[in-house]
Structures are given as C-alpha cells and as structure tokens.
C-alpha cells in the first residue's frame, strides 16, 4: 500500500528529531516525555482516472507537543527542515497550514503545533 509506505517514510524521517514519535494515537505523557510528534493521516480524497488508476489527495497532520513556546519554535523549524528532504512514493506534497494553540492538562499548560500537509499520489484500482 502506497499510503502506508508514505506514512512510514514520514515516520522514519521525523524519528531522529525526538525520542517520542507516534503514529495516529496521542500517548499518555508527562513533561519529561516532551517533545512529542504525532503523525495522523486523517483523510484521503480519491478520484478515478478513467478506471485505470486512482488519484489520491492524502491529508496528513504532524502534531508537535511541547511545554514552552521557544521549544515549539525549535521543533517546528526542525520538522520543516526535515520535510524539505522528504522523499517517498508521492507525486507532490504541499504544506496547507501551520497552527499553534495552548492547552491545559492536569494543571500544566502545553503548546500544540500542527503542520498540515496534502500529499498527492496515484494507485491502481482498488488499492490504497
């Protein structure tokens, strides 16, 4: 499956940036575990190409949890730099957003930064 290959290649690319990189699920964490990167492939819009192949537009979120604003800036820079070198089985990749928000968990405040990507690729009929 190309989708799986694309996501696994992204995981491999980001793993050297921090100890805690996860696919899809947000783990239970403590401050000592930060930063955390979570990769979510949230949506795959498909279109048939004359019943020969399928064009995919895969939405991917890279969520980064940090304790401080400056740490958030550093992990964002590292991830964007790594994405510049990202190679996999896709035709094109676009960054569609970069957002940041704070959230509170057990009386601690954290920063959640999200980079959203749109990854375009083709597959055979009835393949992902």
pLDDT tens digit sequence for 104-120: 777 789 999 999 999 99
Q: Provide the pLDDT for residue 36.
A: 96
> What does pTM read for this prediction?
0.92
Please, what CATH class does the domain formed by 2-124 belong to?
Answer: alpha beta
Residue 44 CB contacts under 8 Å (≥ 6 apart), including other chains: 3, 56, 57, 58, 59, 128
Q: Provide the pLDDT for residue 58.
A: 98
pLDDT tens digit sequence for 28-67: 888 899 999 999 999 999 999 877 899 999 999 999 999 9
What residues does each domain of the chain span? 2-124
**Mean pLDDT to the nearest integer, 73-89:** 97
Q: Provide the pLDDT for residue 63.
A: 97
Flag whether pLDDT at 68 surpasses 90: yes
Q: Provide the pLDDT for residue 128.
A: 73
Q: Provide the pLDDT for residue 102.
A: 87
């Amino acid at each position: 499956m190309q989708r799986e290959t694309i996501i696994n290649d992204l995981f491999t690319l980001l793993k050297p940036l921090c100890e805690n990189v996860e696919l899809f699920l947000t783990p239970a964490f403590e401050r000592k575990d930060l930063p955390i990167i979570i990769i979510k492939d949230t949506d795959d819009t498909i279109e048939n190409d004359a019943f020969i192949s399928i064009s995919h537009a895969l939405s991917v979120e890279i969520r980064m949890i940090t304790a401080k604003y400056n740490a958030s800036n550093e992990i964002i820079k590292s991830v964007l730099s790594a994405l510049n070198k990202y190679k996999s089985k896709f035709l094109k990749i676009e960054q569609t957003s970069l957002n940041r928000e704070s959230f509170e968990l057990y009386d601690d405040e954290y920063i959640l930064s999200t980079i959203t990507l749109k990854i375009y690729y083709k597959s055979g009929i009835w393949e992902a």
